Structure 1
Amino acid sequence: MSEHIQAPPVITLKTARLILTTLQMSDLDEVMPLITDFEIMKWTSRPPVQNIDQGRTWLSARALGPSVFNFAIRQLSSPTIEALPQIVGILGAVDIPTCGYIISPSYAGKGYATEALRAFIPAYFEHVRPASEGGTGHDVLNAFTDTTNFASHRVLEKCGFVRCETLKNEFESWHSGMRDSIVWRYPRPGTTLEELGGGSSMSTRDDETFVPPVR
């Protein structure tokens, strides 16, 4: 049962305009408006959740367990974080080494996804051990986008991700059938994709848990 799976330690990241805090089950009420929204979920492989029980299942897969590394995105409204403002998005790695993000349409176009992802990248590489340490780590951060999700393309480009390849019929959309995906990669600082052999052989992920980047 998900309630018996351990929650990860709470980590807080701050940027000029945002607070990113480890996603928790207590965030469910604030997360529900995001994961029930068609405009947000249309880019993902799963449809909007229909009720609180489905929402709890969705959130538990991203907030519980030893390998999750996901954050709630909030606007920074004051110098302190004693009273956390409303969640406006979610960012993280459900399936390491692949990241994804969702942003409320009400806050799209403000650069929040870019700002949050720039803060997440160094935290991710600090959290994930290098591949050289026993072969269990990762030296690259992947992202997959629908070929027509141009807003997400711009976010990844601004954050320094490299567009590596296009995969035909790579995932099945819940509302529009089979879709092509673009593979993006970001190497661990101090390395390059060329050194890491950043070709198609690195594009591995688990279809059961994958959530493509949004906006």
Structure 2
Amino acid sequence: MTTTLTTARLILRPLAETDAARVERYVSDPDIAKMTLNIPHPYPEGEALTFIRSVQLRVEEGNNVVFAITEQGIDDCIGAMSVRIEPAHNRGELGYWIGKSHWGKGYATEAARAMLAYCFNELKLHKCMARAFAHNPASWRVMEKIGLKEEGLMRQHFMRDGMYIDSKCYGLLREEYLQGS
């Protein structure tokens, strides 16, 4: 994947092996891990490089699009934005994280808005969805700001650290996106 997305303040570019040290530093923060399903804590040393290589394989297979989020003029990764594609259903599920030192600046919303446009305009997906732990209002507010509609609460849908966790689900259909909903 060589696609790059540009927003007013950000550049979303392919995640690269050179991002491993910054990814590892950011996702080692327990506050990042506790808001995600698949980031372990403590984060194993060297795991970021393994993660990036596995992502690159899924991208090559056409099942994922994953971008490093960078500030314009600064190529350092400050987060990641992805869409996991389900070709059989022509839909994608957004996923994202932002390094804690960059929280509260609107970067997740800006990057998610660009990814949503990419999903509908370039990938021609029928639906985009996203899920967030119910105890993570910052994440589900991003979904609401980019126009996704709340579809429901999946009670005790995930298990994280031995506890069942509710998940809020949001989605947007292509026709709604094109109508500006």
| TM-score range relative to shorter protein | 0.7 to 0.9
Report the alpha carbon displacement of residue 44 of structure 1 after superposing the two structures with TM. Answer: 1.5
Q: Which runs of 5+ in 2 are unaligned?
A: 87-91
Alignment length (residue pairs) = 167
Higher strand share: 2
- What is the CA–CA distance in structure 2 between the aligned matches of 1:162 and 1:61, rounded to whole Å? 31
Runs of 4+ in structure 1 displaced over 4 angstroms? none
Among residues 50, 58, 63, which one is paired with 2:51 in the alignment?
58
Q: Tell me the equivalent position of 1:120.
A: 115
Q: Counterpart in 2 of 1:152?
A: 139
Q: Residue by residue, what CA displacement relative to the aligned partner does 1:52-80 show, whole Å, maximum 9, x if unpaired?
A: 0x222222232323222010001113xxx
Residue type of the partner of 2:155? K
Provide structure 1 residue ranges, at least 5 long, that are not aligned to the other structure: 1-8, 78-83, 130-137, 194-215
Q: CA RMSD in A?
A: 1.8
Kindly state the Cα deviation for residue 28 of structure 1 after the two structures are TM-superposed.
1.5
Q: Secondary structure at the match of 1:43?
A: coil
With structure 2 as the length reference, what TM-score do the two structures score?
0.84
Deviations 1:14-50 (A, max 9, x none): 1111111011233212211122221111111231321
Higher relative contact order (CA 8 A, sep 6+): 1
**Any residues of structure 2 matched to 1:156-171 within 5 Å, and which?**
156-171=143-158
Q: Indicate yes or no: 2:65 matched with 1:86.
A: no
What is aligned with 1:198? none
- Between the aligned residues of both structures, percent identity stands at 30
Higher helix share: 2
Q: Distance in 2 between matches of 1:64 and 1:29?
A: 19
For 1:128 and 1:25, locate their aligned partners in 2 and report how far apart those are by CA, in whole Å: 25
What does 1:13-162 correspond to in 2, within 5 Å? 13-46=5-38, 47-48=40-41, 49-52=43-46, 54-65=47-58, 66=61, 67-77=63-73, 84-94=74-84, 96=86, 97-129=92-124, 138-162=125-149
Q: How big is each residue's C-alpha offset from its partner over 1:77-102, in whole Å with a ceiling of 9 and x where there is no partner?
A: 3xxxxxx5211110111454211100
| 2:9 maps to amino acid | R
